[in-house]
Amino acid sequence: MRIAHNNQIRDFQDFIWDFYAHNRRDFAWRGVEDPYKVFVSELMLQQTQTHRVAPKFELFVRELPNFEALAQVPLRDLLRLWQGLGYNRRALFLQKSAQKVVAEYAGLLPANPEILITFPGIGKATAGSICAFAFNMPTVFIETNIRAVFIHSFFRDKVTISDAEIMPLIEQTLPVDSPREWYYALMDYGVVLKQQCANPSRKSAHHLIQSRFQGSNRQIRGAIVRLLTKNQSMTEVALIQALEKDADRVKKIVEQLCCEGFLKRAKRALEIAE
């Protein structure tokens, strides 16, 4: 296990805080007191860049300002608001989580990562980040920009670095009195690192190259949801014609979307599920 000396910790913290003082990024979800807005932003930011999230986030929380509104909104309207963010499952997870918060926690988001990981679509890292940003709790978590910072700062001469090696350093360097701002600072420095040099995360044992989007099943899924969000209903034949894709492939994807709760069959047509 990698252990940093006190001087290393202090120097690292001083450097990060100094960087942050001069290069802080501002977003609508930062520094807010409303856990709902943090929760929405963290789900949106999973696998989606901040410049795509920023305009969608403000529209989303304006139309759906709290867990109650999100829990009750028709799926068609939810998917309309989500359009452009990709990975539509996250919208479904978000609504199911909101329904859980309303039904089981009186509309108040639990400030407990062990509870949050039981919510749909919430893993350990997201549960930790939600608690850090919504409640300023000193939870220990890792995400792509934080990973890049620690690899660049502590593992320059090593490859295939595991998260298990990085996590103790994150814990050691975490200021318990200001975890929210500290994690903002780490993420902001990580973004700059990736712009200035080869992405340090390539040396991570967990680094994966994202599969091509163009022509993928993910692209077809998104196109189907967009078409059925725009149109009240469509027959499967009309859907296949509009997509101009292999019929058997489209049918399999439609069946998956039905099983996942996105679509429903109404008579001979397909619709967004209610």
pLDDT value, residue 160:
83
- What range does the domain containing 263 cover? 217-272
Number of domains in the chain: 3
| 113 and 147 together in one domain | no
- The two tokens of residue 107 are 């509309």
pLDDT value, residue 3:
57
Name the active-site residue from 33, 42, 63, 171: 42
Concerning whether 42 is annotated as a catalytic residue, the answer is: yes
pLDDT value, residue 123:
95
| 114 and 41 together in one domain | yes
pLDDT value, residue 255:
94
Among residues 83, 115, 135, the one where a domain terminates is 135
| 93 and 228 together in one domain | no
Of 263, 227, 261, residue with least CA distance to 243: 227
- Per the DSSP assignment, residues forming a β-bridge with 234 are 270
| 19 and 145 together in one domain | yes
Residue 210 lies in a domain: no
Buried b (16+ CB within 10 A) or exposed e, 213-235: eeeeebebbbbbbeebbeeebbe
Quote the pTM value.
0.87
pLDDT value, residue 156:
85
pLDDT value, residue 267:
81
> Whole-angstrom Cα distance, residue 46 to residue 82?
13
List Cβ neighbours of 68 (8 Å cut-off, separation of 6 or more): 98, 102, 107
Among residues 81, 116, 135, the one where a domain terminates is 135
Q: List Cα–Cα distances, 264 to 77, 97, 244, in angstroms.
A: 16, 21, 21
Residue 208 lies in a domain: no
| 240 and 171 together in one domain | no
Among residues 83, 117, 135, the one where a domain terminates is 135
Q: What would the pLDDT profile of 132-183 be if each residue is shown by its tens digit?
A: 999 999 999 999 999 999 999 999 888 889 999 999 999 999 999 999 999 9
Residue 211 lies in a domain: no
Give me the residues of the chain with pLDDT under 50, please.
Answer: none
Residue 1 lies in a domain: no
| 48 and 112 together in one domain | yes
pLDDT value, residue 209:
62
CATH code assigned at 222: 1.10.10.10
Residue 171 lies in a domain: yes
